[in-house]
Structure 1
Amino acid sequence: MSENFSNNLRRLCAERISIAQVCREIGFNRQQFNRYLNGGGMPSAHNLRRIAQYFGMNVDTLLLDDDQFSTVLKTLNPSDNHRSRHSLDFIFKGQARQLRRYLGFYHGHFQTPTWGGDIIRTLVWLREEKGKVVSHTFERAYSKDGSVRQRTRHLGLVAYQGNRIYLIENANSEDSFISSTIMFPAHRQRINLIQGLTMGVATRPRLMPYATPIIWKRISEERSPRWCIEQTGIFSETSTAIDPVIRRRLVETAYPHEFVSQIG
């Protein structure tokens, strides 16, 4: 059984960029993992389940003999066992360990062409789900005259690469827009404020993509979910409800850039 496991584990690791990356994503140290690869011992039942889950199969499959394991691999979807740097699933899988310090709630602040020069504050929640990190963004905005009432939820995936946090989110609106955000943590230990850049699609005055600076402010765990939601909305550039540091950084930055088509 130990020999079958080590052989199968080596075959699976051969499909990845490096063994070091596999160790980081699962959470094993290299010396410990090398023992499994070399047949020097079997992992505990708990660690065996972690390895099986990481490779998207059950424990029994990892213990099959060579012929049986080859048969199983052939029946799997190629996208499940031939990950590459260009696979989106590969990018977002196993990110929980690197992003754990960033999990929790934030208020996001940015400006969009939809609301002129006003600042929109959203609620962002990063949580772990089966080794991946999922993002939930809640956005609500009401025009002063009451003619526009916007409540949108975004669901996405999060990755951490090169000291950058990447989000790809899909809105549950009728148009189902996709947005992309890159956050730049300045200090790994100080994450009260995180700056970045977000790109989405403005709904007014016309449907056009735009890019704009964004700032996340960490929310204390003592705050209730209701309070977090109540703080979202639209605020003027001079509103004292916005942290003065955030307000200054957003206002001093160039206005959200709208990408206007030059064709036609």
Structure 2
Amino acid sequence: MSRKAASNNDYFSTNLRQLCATKPSVSAVCRDVGLNRQQFERYLTGAAMPSAHNLRRLCAYFAVEESQLLAPPSTTPSPARPPETAGDPSAFAQALRMQPDELPQLRHYCGSYQYHFLSPTWPGKIQTSVLQIYESERRILSRYLGRVRDPKFGTVMRSRFNGQLVLRSGRIFVMECSRDVVDSFAQTILFPAHRHSANYLTGMAFGIGWLPHRGPFASHVILRRLRPTQSMREAVAHCGLYAPDSRALDPIVRKFFGEDALPYVSEHL
């Protein structure tokens, strides 16, 4: 083993041990991620490195980037912590608490997705963004990344939302708050995936448009699961606006929206 490879192993094992210390036990981590305990111990001691697939699973579970796990330990941040609600008596905070059988069901949806909806700002266009779903502190959280180049002015508009998933009445609720605009919220309600279409989730999205005014809108939405081998850079590069019949879109996405689909936009008062 080269000196550089040995250093990467040491960095990774140290970072992994620090992250595991934030969880109830190593056994809980293995169970949650779905890894063999004996093999996981080799990761912790630096005797072995995970495959690319398992490395991505660990990154999604701890909500960190691959580069952070392989960096010197002093530069590795702790996993993101969701807002605490245990001491909050509000009805909304209580509603976000995970039900006993909810976590195992929602874990099935952890991964990265292309998120497609009808844009209220650019009528007749489908906007493609990225949604990451991951587990942290025994909650299922989301991270939304949007990037659009305005076809008229050429300016790039970005949006970022952090959220949490809950499963209620057989529906998946994704409740999000903007990371850049503190008064901006969004919600997506999804149907659970059927076995024959496990790579796609459909439902409705509700939010606030950008232009010509910040008005509320709703749109049908479809999520397509990305391959585990696909990098986040590739996924973000695919973000943008597409015509409903664009061959750059997945055929199922094109069929889902059709040619005449439009969002529901509230009139400006």
TM-score range, shorter chain: 0.5 to 0.7
Partner letter of residue 93 of structure 2? Answer: L
CA–CA distance in structure 2, aligned partners of residues 143 and 220 of structure 1 = 28
Could you tell me which of 101, 124, 129 is aligned with 2:108? 101
1:203 Cα offset (Å): 1.3
Which residue of structure 2 aligns with residue 54 of structure 1? none
- Mark the CA change 1:82 to 1:211 in structure 2 (over 3 Å): closer, same or farther: closer
1:122 Cα offset (Å): 0.7
Which residue of structure 2 aligns with residue 88 of structure 1? 93
- Mark the CA change 1:97 to 1:151 in structure 2 (over 3 Å): closer, same or farther: same
1:149 Cα offset (Å): 1.7
Query: 8 Å contact 1:113–1:205 — kept in the other structure?
Result: no
Instruction: Give 5+ residue unaligned stretches, structure 2.
Output: 1-23, 30-84
Which residue of structure 2 aligns with residue 208 of structure 1? 215
1:146 Cα offset (Å): 3.4
- Mark the CA change 1:89 to 1:157 in structure 2 (over 3 Å): closer, same or farther: farther
Could you tell me which of 157, 161, 164 is aligned with 2:168? 161
- Mark the CA change 1:233 to 1:99 in structure 2 (over 3 Å): closer, same or farther: same
CA–CA distance in structure 2, aligned partners of residues 189 and 251 of structure 1 = 21
1:241 aligns with 2:234: no
Which residue of structure 1 aligns with residue 232 of structure 2? 225
Residue range with higher mean Cα deviation, 143-152 or 175-184: 143-152
Which residue of structure 2 aligns with residue 191 of structure 1? 198
1:126 Cα offset (Å): 0.4
**Structure 2 SS opposite 1:200:** strand
Q: Deviations over 1:186-211 (max 9, x none)?
A: 41574211101000001111110001
CA–CA distance in structure 2, aligned partners of residues 93 and 154 of structure 1 = 21
**Structure 1 SS opposite 2:121:** helix
- Mark the CA change 1:131 to 1:250 in structure 2 (over 3 Å): closer, same or farther: same
Partner letter of residue 247 of structure 2? Answer: T
CA–CA distance in structure 2, aligned partners of residues 231 and 261 of structure 1 = 31
- Mark the CA change 1:89 to 1:168 in structure 2 (over 3 Å): closer, same or farther: same
Which residue of structure 2 aligns with residue 74 of structure 1? none
Question: Paired residues, what number?
Answer: 188
**Structure 2 SS opposite 1:206:** coil
Query: 8 Å contact 1:168–1:181 — kept in the other structure?
Result: yes
Which residue of structure 1 aligns with residue 15 of structure 2? none
1:171 Cα offset (Å): 1.5
Which residue of structure 1 aligns with residue 124 of structure 2? 117
Q: Percent identity?
A: 26
Please give the residue correspondences for 1:124-135 in structure 2 after superposition, counting only pairs within 5 Å.
124-135=131-142
**Structure 2 SS opposite 1:247:** helix
Query: 8 Å contact 1:113–1:202 — kept in the other structure?
Result: yes
**Structure 2 SS opposite 1:102:** coil
| TM-score, length basis structure 2 | 0.62
| TM-score, length basis structure 1 | 0.63
CA–CA distance in structure 2, aligned partners of residues 83 and 132 of structure 1 = 19
- Mark the CA change 1:258 to 1:130 in structure 2 (over 3 Å): closer, same or farther: same
Query: 8 Å contact 1:168–1:180 — kept in the other structure?
Result: yes
- Mark the CA change 1:82 to 1:175 in structure 2 (over 3 Å): closer, same or farther: closer
1:151 aligns with 2:158: yes
- Mark the CA change 1:160 to 1:141 in structure 2 (over 3 Å): closer, same or farther: same
Segments of 4+ in structure 1 off by > 6 A? 81-84
CA-based RMSD of the aligned residues comes to 2.8
Partner letter of residue 260 of structure 1? Answer: E
CA–CA distance in structure 1, aligned partners of residues 160 and 193 of structure 2 = 28
CA–CA distance in structure 2, aligned partners of residues 130 and 139 of structure 1 = 25
Partner letter of residue 215 of structure 2? Answer: M
**Structure 2 SS opposite 1:80:** coil
Query: 8 Å contact 2:98–2:139 — kept in the other structure?
Result: yes
